[in-house]
């Protein structure tokens, strides 16, 4: 199963608060949250992060950029490989391990 989405990074996102006022950068944790949200939405179930593996951040993401996010089921249960592309370049990639959550959380 492959899941994809396209997101525009909103200039007003709370992720930019304090990260950095004169040189805004979309944090890596926000990118990982987008991957979790994509998979959770597809499975129509709240998920929680178990662990990450081989995560690489290769490009700084700025406000207004368009991100193409792709997640594919991995070989192990509850694992997904993912790639985030921006402007034709890989911004982030790795493996994410998720499990069903008993509580829901909200992302900014």
Residue 106 covered by a domain: no
Instruction: Give burial (CB, 10 Å; 0-12/13-18/19+) of 9.
Output: buried
φ/ψ region of 91 (left if φ > 0, alpha if ψ in -120 to 50, else beta) reads alpha
Structural domains in the chain (count): 1
Residue 105 covered by a domain: no
Residue 107 covered by a domain: no
Residue 25 covered by a domain: yes
Instruction: Tell me the pLDDT of the chain (108 aa) as tens digits.
Output: 899 999 999 999 999 988 787 899 999 999 999 999 999 999 999 999 999 999 999 999 999 999 999 999 988 889 999 999 999 999 999 999 999 987 655 555
Residue 52 covered by a domain: yes
Looking at residue 51, what DSSP letter applies?
E
For 12, the token pair is 């007003």
Which residue range forms the structural domain that includes residue 50?
Answer: 2-100
Q: Where are the beta strands (DSSP E) in the chain?
A: 2-8, 47-57, 66-73, 79-86, 89-100
For position 85, which CATH number holds? 3.10.129.10
Residue 37 covered by a domain: yes
* CB 68, CB 4: distance < 8 Å: yes
């Amino acid at each position: 199963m492959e899941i994809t989405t396209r997101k525009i990074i909103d200039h007003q996102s709370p992720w930019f608060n304090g990260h950095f006022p004169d040189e805004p950068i979309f944090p890596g944790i926000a990118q990982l949250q987008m991957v979790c949200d994509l998979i959770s939405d597809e499975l129509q179930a709240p998920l929680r992060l178990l662990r990450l593996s081989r995560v690489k951040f290769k490009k700084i993401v700025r406000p207004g950029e368009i991100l193409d996010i792709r997640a594919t089921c991995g070989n192990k249960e509850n694992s997904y490989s993912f790639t985030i592309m921006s402007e034709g370049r890989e911004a982030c990639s790795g493996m994410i391990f998720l499990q069903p959550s008993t509580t829901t959380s909200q992302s900014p």
